[in-house]
Amino acid sequence: MENEIEIIDFILKNNAEAILEKLDDIHPVDFLEALSSYHGEAVEVLEKLPDDYIALLIDEAEDDEKYGLLSLFSQNRKNNIISEMSSDELVDLLRNIDEDEKESIILKMDKEDAKEVKELLEYDPDSAGGIMATEFLSVKDNMTVDEVIKFLRDNAPDSETPYYIYVLDDYDVLKGVVPLRDIVISDAQTIVKDIMIEKVITVPVQMDQEDVGNIFDKYGFMAVPVTDDFGVMLGIITIDDIVEILKDEHTEDLYRLAGLDESEKISGSVKSSIKSRLPWLIVNLGTAILAAATVSLFENTIEKIVALATFMPIVAGMGGNAGTQTLTMIIRGIALGELNFENEKEVLKKEILVGLVNGTCLGIIVATLGLLWVGNPVFGLVIGIAMFLNLVIATIAGYFVPLILKKINVDPALASGVFVTTVTDVLGFFFFLGLATLMINFLI
């Protein structure tokens, strides 16, 4: 990649013809990075670029930066740039501006394009319909390969992706798909019907974008068609969109596991960070108070056996770690569609067995440590049993909590950690201190 300063310097110093030739070698992402480092007026650089390249820059820009780039141009150039944008990227731009600006853009669009964009805006942004593009290549099954090639020469530049050619009937119902490779290697007079794949993997227009991502991951497609309930093809979703979506979903899950709002940026304001973090810290404070209240029930026991205070964090902490391990596996299984009704019981049996074995091993280790530390075999037995019970409960909690939250339409990644930690802390203290209270005559 060229030096960022050199890219901008070249654009400013050369004419349109030289710039057009040079842009073929500069990826829009690299150009945006160069532009972000430029200390002059961005518009003086952008005005020298062709409309189709500006559209590519807007496509690659962050959602909250797209309209800012577009607004740098005159109304006439705005209209030209918008006409070069793919439908899905234009919808992404429109979803991030206020209603007045949105209506202003739509009113100035071609009537057919405006109608299409309005229909796309009706879909849930996180659904297949909300992320699909309507630019795709379609042919009839009675066309020859030669006719398809002529069609591609005229229409491929306007398509979102030319990797697949979709075969539709007169009512736009999807009948098959032909990979571009098959068109290239087939005889010119071959009929499309003879080489098309009739069993096509599609996604329904209402499908959640995360489930769409799982289909891409499973089959390794470059694009997947989107259909309605009647099999009518509405659009396509391409791999570049899915990569971005999976990245966003991963970031969202990561943030939510830590009790953060996924919209928080590392360069954001103090106010936005406090707004994102403080509510969950307050929730965590509530769970900590609940754990402390459990400990307070056994103050007399702790006063008599001070060593209990030393070992309490070990029991609770190990339970939290075990619960988090199971929790992470279950949330991942839910997100990737690997955990389903058919295998739920088997997964539960496996996790309980893991909890029993881990609880036994760690229980024996900590019991031995307790015995050596205090010199009392009953103390070792108490902490060993408490550790065993808490690890088994932690594993069960790590399994059931995210499933229950999913069934009541709460994001498991957002709230599971708090509930599982609460269970392991409260029950860990209860098991350990409760057993110590029952056996206090043998511990003093």
Specify the pLDDT at position 328.
Answer: 87
pTM reported for the whole predicted model = 0.66
**Cβ contact 108:100 at 8 Å:** no
In degrees and rounded to multiples of 5, residue 142 shows phi and psi of: -95, 5
d(C-alpha 138, C-alpha 225), whole Å: 11
Q: Residue 264 pLDDT more than 70?
A: no
d(C-alpha 56, C-alpha 85), whole Å: 7
Q: How many CB atoms lie within 10 A of CB 130?
A: 20
Joined tokens for residue 293 = 């209240």
Q: Of the given ranges (59-68, 115-124, 150-159), which has the lowest mean pLDDT?
A: 150-159
DSSP assignment letter at 156:
G
> What average pLDDT does the chain have?
88
Q: Residue 261 pLDDT more than 70?
A: no
Q: How many CB atoms lie within 10 A of CB 237?
A: 28
Using DSSP's 3-state secondary structure scheme, residue 197 falls into: strand
d(C-alpha 244, C-alpha 213), whole Å: 10
Using DSSP's 3-state secondary structure scheme, residue 160 falls into: coil
Q: CATH number for the 138-254 domain, one of 3.20.20.240, 3.10.580.10, 3.20.10.10, 3.60.15.10?
A: 3.10.580.10
Architecture (CATH level 2) of domain 4-126: Alpha Horseshoe (1.25)
Query: Where does residue 293 rank: exposed (0-12), middle (13-18), buried (19+ CB within 10 A)?
Result: exposed
Joined tokens for residue 311 = 């070992």
Which run of H or of E encompasses 237? Answer: strand 233-238
d(C-alpha 421, C-alpha 286), whole Å: 12
For the stretch 77-101, pLDDT in tens is 998 999 888 888 899 899 888 888 8
d(C-alpha 419, C-alpha 64), whole Å: 34
Sorted by where each begins, the domain ranges of the chain are 4-126, 138-254, 270-443
Specify the pLDDT at position 1.
Answer: 44
What percent of the chain is modeled with pLDDT above 70? 93
Specify the pLDDT at position 3.
Answer: 65
Topology agreement, domain 138-254 and domain 270-443: no
pLDDT band of residue 222 (cuts 50, 70, 90) is confident
The pLDDT of 27-37, averaged and rounded, is 89
Q: CATH number for the 270-443 domain, one of 3.40.50.300, 3.30.70.100, 1.20.120.1750, 1.10.357.20?
A: 1.10.357.20
Q: State which of 68-72, 148-152, 229-233, 268-272 shows the largest mean pLDDT.
A: 229-233
